[in-house]
Amino acid sequence: MNILLTGPTGFIGTAFTRLALRQGHRVAGLLLPNEAIPADRPAGPQLVWLRGLLDQAPWEEITRFAPEVCVHAAWITTPGIYLETPENERFRDASLAFIKKTVGLGTRQIVSLGTCVEYQATEQPMAEDTSPIAPTTLYARCKNDLRLALEAEARSQGFGFCWTRIFYPYGPGEHPSRLCSSIIHKLLSNEKVVLRTPGSTKDYIFIEDLAEALLLVVERRFQGVINLGTGEGVEVRRLAQSLARLVGKKGLVEEKMPPEIDPAGHVVADVKKLKHLGWQPAHNLEAGLEKLVGSFGTAVGSLF
């Protein structure tokens, strides 16, 4: 299958590219104009690197590649910035124009990455077709706006469209400011880890399992909205305690008293649709965290 991928060097895009290549697919990744080609993924018969922006794409090269599917993963996701930056509006508008043009060139399946924070916070597992949608950040609103616009385009133009709601990915290659890696960095520096919302419960999915789920959706040409999560809620305190045990620094984790209130304190996926496709995670939480800790290499090994 010929897969056009935006955001190929991002956390999710990198894992997806590696898996898709292993499974025998051809991938054309859209790099930024000045972005270096990843050293571990040189161009070859199965992998084509294109250069451009969503609003200045290399359409002649894309046409020659003849993508059967477009997986749209590009967006701004920098921790501490992405939730309210006006860049979200630019990505929303550029994404819609890019996908419309891609469909116009003959691509008949679009898979775009959404977010679990499109949902209204609730204590119940979040189901694609019944849980209320109530985005509270500019990031989530722009993602939801794009979904609505693409659903309308799909009905009008007759192409297949899948909107994946991503829950909380973690693993090797994640941004150092993400929760798991930030905790590990503090532990390795012998800093106290003070949990502000220790009871906050999220659905954490290991990055390799997420890539498997995303590729399955692509291969099955699934249409509609689908959650990509595990269906298991994990408290922040369990996450931090597991990491401290793996790093050998259990005495450094503390809880703020009284704890702060997390307005999105329970974000867990209903994964019936995903499991109906045959997906099962290959990693439980402990196995995934062990791989993440292992990716820190000698900094961890020197502790033992």
Q: What is the mean pLDDT of each run of 10 residues along the chain (304 residues)?
A: 98 98 98 95 96 98 98 94 97 98 97 98 95 97 98 98 98 96 97 97 98 98 98 98 95 94 94 98 98 82 43
CA atoms within 13 A on the CB side of 164: 25
Choose the CATH number for 2-169+203-228 among 1.10.10.10, 3.90.1150.10, 3.40.50.720, 2.40.110.20.
3.40.50.720
Contact 199, 236 (CB under 8 A): yes
State how beta strands 234-235 and 201-202 pair.
Answer: antiparallel
The per-residue pLDDT for 298 is: 52
Closest to 139 (Cα-Cα) out of 77, 74, 88: 88
The per-residue pLDDT for 250 is: 86
Domain boundaries, the chain: 2-169+203-228, 176-202+232-265+283-301
Closest to 145 (Cα-Cα) out of 99, 100, 104, 88: 88
The per-residue pLDDT for 299 is: 53
The per-residue pLDDT for 301 is: 46
Fold of 176-202+232-265+283-301: UDP-galactose 4-epimerase; domain 1 (3.90.25)
